[in-house]
Chains A and B, each alone.
Chain A
Amino acid sequence: MSRQLLDLILGTALLPLGLVAYLVAAEGAVLRHAGRRAGSLRPWLWLAPAFVLIAGVLVYPLLKSVYLSLRNADSTAWVGFKNYRAIFTDPSLVAVLKVNALWIVIFPLAAVVLGLLTAVLLDRVRYERVAKAIITVPTAISFVAGSVMWRLIYTYNPPGTPQIGTLNAFLKAILPGFVPKAWLIDQRFNNYALIFVGVWLGTGLATLILSAAVKGISRELLEAARIDGASEWRVFRYIMFPELVPALGVVMTTSVIAAIKVFDIVYVVTGGNYNTDVIATRMYSEQFAYQNTGLACAIAVVLLLAVTPVLLANRAALRREVAQ
């Protein structure tokens, strides 16, 4: 029997079986010995396996990363906060932070605006299902596959040679005198080109969430407003929009988190070249290309610290959305 098969059996059968055995034993022990304390003890016994798991796969790696982030490239000596200082002072890392800032501003805004627009407008047409299906198709494509597609779409060939990239070929066909653009290399717009890939892949999800929220708004309320003579803009501004705020919060925070963590699009489309490196791709290259574990871990910790407040806001927004 191959090793992998054995591991698979251990993982899928023995682990749950062991867990059940533990719970049965713990429950038995509580019943036999704990007496009146059983009520307060029981939740902890049931929660213990989850705590162990979280400690093993989340807390320990986190603490280890913090520890390694204070050490040098090959983790053999203490360097204090040198790696953290580098993140905010080294020009090449500051450039990375600037690119991420661009992502954090543009990507969520575009996702929210486009998502809201499609959700609200599609609510008014008969072919909503078809249109929504088309808009959500990219959501079904993996980020890597989508990125490969866009790399081909953005392909540039020098003027005077056949344009293999779809975008340049298309623009050349419809605009006489169009000079092909190196979408991924020209630093005036290459980051926007990458962010657009993210928007294309991510707007579908925003549309789905916002569309569900739109459907949740009471039709009677909207109709009453219209009968009272409210214009469509006022209906949207004073009735729909306030009702959509919690859902917008969810979409916004989810997109911000995605923008902070973005990796696959940049890695696949430009490999971080031509000033498109973002913090997650840099973390990867520091570890695997430059073998600088200390700096890679420091970047990971900064990434976590940047995501955490947004994550908390996201949870609060989700709660509001559910409560509504």
Chain B
Amino acid sequence: MRANFGLRRADRRGTTRFILVATIAAAASVSAAAAAPTKDSDQPAFPAASLAAAQKAASQIVHGKKIGGSVDFLGVLTGAQGEALTAALKPLEDASGMKVDYEATFSQQSILQTRIDAGNPPDAVFSSYPLQLVQLAKAGKLIPLNGVVDMKAAARQYPKRLLDLGTVKGKLYAYFPIVNYHALVWYNADQYSGPRNPTWPQLQAWASGSAAQGKPPWCAGIESGAVTGWPAANELLVPLFVRRYGPKLATAWEQGKLAWSSPQVKWAWSTVGAILTNPKMVNGGATAVASTNFLGAGNGMFTSPPSCFVLSLGQFYGSYAPAAVQGASAKNVGHFAFPSITKAYARAQFVDGNQVALLRNRAQGRALAAYMATPQFATLLAESGQFLVPNSAVSHNVYPTPLARQLAKQLVESKKTQAATILLPTVLFPVPVTNQFFKDLTTYLQNPSQLDALLADMDRVAKSSR
């Protein structure tokens, strides 16, 4: 009896221990996940009228038929953006009876290539990498969209420059339903006393003054997991290069015609280095820049006293900061365009975005590509507050925030700014070049003396990627 009792007690202890171990492990992983930056996961609520209009447009695309089936759709957007996208696709599902199997992954470009090589491509992609789509179109892997989307409407509604990026030999293979602005300079209106809309020399003069007073002016953070380094590349180095040398030289750089070791590219690297490795310009210098996640890079603008004053980052920061940064609100988060250097290139604005392309010629895929080109779908995306849509048939009034309304106005309603809209070179370099760029720039900021060796390394990678 005693032995029996002892055994049961041992059993109980074993169970208790197991529960203890499992609970601690679960709690640890949950808290780790919770501590990582996450976005609001609420599904956006669309106005009923927009939903009805989208459903009507979808219904017209499938000629009122319930085609059923499903479409295999590979993308890169997750979190709140992924949810907004799938919510905006719901009217198509309701109208056609088909299911959109949306799968998002950060390794989208490799997975797409692997699946094509394996003979198992998805029906459609929502790609953030235009060069890959052009290469696939040239290799005959994409379905032309000319008979699929309403070409006349597309030509009327989408900026020509953006359509051109998905056009190969006169046929449209991909278009951008959404774009993101990069390199806007953010500040805290309650603290920032420097010039608004300055030129680069004006901003630098103010920055040097601030640095001399012991107040590091720049905020910066480049930590971003496997792609650490991109914020310094996309939000500072590339804008500096384009503002000084213009889009044409940027294209030459993208195409491997301008060497990385050229004086122009080297100037951009050293200018970024002079800011980000100087503890007087950035609080904590290169080490702090490297260890700060890009999402937290601007936190110092809203502390008291502030530890930094200006931050160059994408449009998303305008909605991210008021929602996630303590002390930031829609009222005090201000921005201006990246400062001008050469007058002729002062207006260039930097975007990247996501393109829709078809890889299989199936009715479901065609319906998806046609629906995503409609202004009704674009309206839902704009109303979600997660995206900018470059569709001129979508009024800027449908955006939920003043910032988005203003950016949308610039993007689609002004021919002048439209003509000055360029895609970030980092999405137009071959994949290995872009990845090496982020990595080498990260290394450079830790070891500024290695600049020449790193640029030579970039030239080697660029050459072997052609």
Contact = CB atoms under 8 A, between A and B. Distances in A.
Contacts, number: 102
A182 B284 CA distance: 11
Contacts of A254: none
A158 interface: yes
Contacts of A121: none
Contacts of A185: 287, 290-291, 446
A: contact size bracket = 35 or more
B283 to A, nearest CB: 5
Nearest to B439: A273
A182 B283 contact: no
Given A184-B291, A186-B287, A161 B28 contact: no
Contacts of A156: 287-288, 291
A291 B21 contact: no
A289 B284 CA distance: 30
Interface in A251-279: 267-268, 271-274
Given A148-B33, A155-B291, A273-B439, A161 B307 contact: yes
B284 A137 contact: no
B252 interface: no
B258 to A, nearest CB: 21
Contacts of B32: 145, 148-149, 152
B228 A273 contact: yes
Interface string B219-262: 00000011111000000000000000000000000000000000
Interface in A280-310: 285, 287-292
Contacts of B36: 148
The listed residue with most A CB atoms (<10 A of its CB), out of B292, B435, B439, B442, is B439
Contacts of A159: 284
Interface in B109-152: 110, 113
Nearest to B300: A161
B415 interface: no
A149 B439 CA distance: 24
Contact of A158 (B70, B107, B284, B464): B284
B465 to A, nearest CB: 8
A291 B35 contact: no
A140 B25 contact: yes
A129 B17 contact: yes
Contact of A152 (B25, B35, B229, B442): B35
Interface in B290-332: 290-292, 300, 303, 307
A184 B290 CA distance: 10
A73 interface: yes
A263 B228 CA distance: 17
The listed residue with most A CB atoms (<10 A of its CB), out of B31, B285, B288, is B288
Contacts of B439: 273
A73 B17 contact: no
Nearest to B279: A158
Interface string A135-150: 0110011100110110
A73 B288 CA distance: 36
A12 interface: no
A50 B122 CA distance: 32
B287 A137 contact: no
A2 interface: yes
Interface of A: 2-3, 73, 129, 133, 136-137, 140-142, 145-146, 148-149, 152, 155-161, 182, 184-187, 267-268, 271-274, 285, 287-292
Given A141-B29, A185-B290, A287-B110, 19 more contacts: A133-B17, A133-B20, A133-B21, A136-B21, A140-B24, A145-B32, A152-B32, A156-B288, A157-B284, A158-B288, A185-B291, A271-B226, A272-B226, A273-B229, A288-B110, A289-B435, A291-B110, A291-B432, A292-B432
Q: Which 9 A-B pairs have the closest CB atoms?
A: A158-B284, A145-B29, A289-B435, A140-B25, A290-B432, A158-B288, A156-B291, A148-B32, A149-B32
